[in-house]
Amino acid sequence: MSVIYDRVALIGLGLIAGSMSLAMRRDGLAGEIVGTARSAETRRVAAEIGLVDRVVETAGEAVTGADLVVLAVPVGAMSAVAEAIGPYLKPGATVTDVGSVKKAVIDAVGPHIPDGVHFVPAHPLAGTEHSGPHSGFAELFANRWCLIVPDGSRAEEAAIARLEALWQGMGALTDRMEADHHDLVLSVTSHVPHLIAYTMVGVADDLGRVTDSEVIKYSAAGFRDFTRIAASDPTMWRDVFLTNREAVLDILGRFTEELFALQRAIRTGEGQELHDYFTRTRAIRRGILEAGQDTDAPDFGRAASRRGAAE
């Protein structure tokens, strides 16, 4: 593919930014990739492994002359970073982000974007439980959705389409969504499930009648998946829940109602009600498989993954 942006600046050098850099390099989508991170150790490692073409110390230096600026920092840090880079952004540049919440990002970043600079928030629905400059890989976005959430007053159509082309070039599927709706959808598909996973692992940790060694030794597939999710970056998820609290509390309330209904069915022995409920919800899993967003391999592909790692 041809170059889409002559110079890309990555602010933050963790899983998403690192994977973007590797994917852009693989497909020749950027002329130069400049990166920076708050931590000097992260900058050192990124430079040592050649994660980007050039590592610099400050965000202002990174964005100078950049055609695309990617804010890959926790949502709670967005405002301070946007304020720091504002004076250094060149006219015609595009600023985007990869945060899991969109309304809060627009409110935090938008006021610091100067006239003549396009602001196009985005959210790639891809990730792992790992973080840091070593965690990225070029295939992370393959066949995964990236939601584009344009701040209508701050971006022209050409800038939005150009960013979409970049994500598509990295292998992602793209769609556009309004910010409030994005935050509600993600509270269902990501935020509340993560909260439930953290809670279930916390319950296991607090349950005095089950020892830590038993929890670890006898973990079934469901609990193992909870622990994988609960291993995600705590700073990022703290910020997600605080900045998307209304949608999360709405869906959490609905979840609690459903849980109470299931408790009642179990307590009263309503086997048919349980069977009907599980039959309805099972269809969601089939839909995810049909959409190509997961594998139906036995054990969720774990055995194959282990073989691949061994090879």
295 and 150 assigned to the same domain: no
CATH of the domain at 154: 3.40.50.720
Pair (95, 144) in one structural domain: yes
Report the domain count for the chain: 2
Do residues 232 and 163 both lie within one domain?
Answer: no
% the chain with pLDDT above 90: 60
Measuring CA to CA, how many Å separate 172 from each of 20, 91, 148, 187, 190? 11, 28, 12, 21, 18
| Structure tokens, 2 | 């041809």
Helix (H, G, I), strand (E, B) or coil at 146: strand
Output the CA torsion sign for 197, 199, 201, 204: negative
- Based on the fold, state whether residues 200 and 156 are members of the same structural domain: no
Residue 309 has pLDDT above 50, yes or no: no
Distance, in Å, from the CA atom of 254 to the CA atom of 240, rounded to the nearest integer, reads 19
Q: How far apart are the first and last CA of the chain?
A: 31
Comparing 109-118, 221-230, 254-263, the range with the smallest average pLDDT is 221-230
Provide the CB-side half-sphere exposure for 259 (13 A, CA).
Answer: 7
Lowest mean pLDDT among 115-124, 131-140, 227-236, 275-284: 227-236
Q: Please tell me whether residues 31 and 168 are part of one structural domain.
A: yes
**CA 298, 301, 304, 310 torsion-angle sign:** negative
pLDDT digits (tens, 9 = 90+) for 164-222: 999 999 999 999 999 999 999 999 888 888 888 888 877 777 765 556 667 666 666 67
pLDDT confidence tier of residue 120, bands split at 50, 70 and 90: very high
* pLDDT score, position 41: 96
Which of 177, 200, 218 terminates a domain? The answer is 177
Q: Are 149 and 123 in contact (CB under 8 A)?
A: yes
Tokens of 281: 């919800």
Dist. CA 254–CA 264, nearest whole Å:
16
CATH of the domain at 250: 1.10.3660.10
Domain that holds residue 228: 181-310
Query: Which candidate, 33, 41, 115, 110, places its Cα nearest to that of 68?
Result: 33
Per-chain mean pLDDT for the chain:
87
Instruction: Indicate if 168 and 76 belong to the same structural domain.
Output: yes
Which of 19, 44, 311 has its CA nearest to residue 140?
Answer: 19
Higher pLDDT, 207 or 28: 28
Can you tell me the distance from the alpha carbon of 70 to that of 7, in angstroms, rounded to the nearest whole number? 11
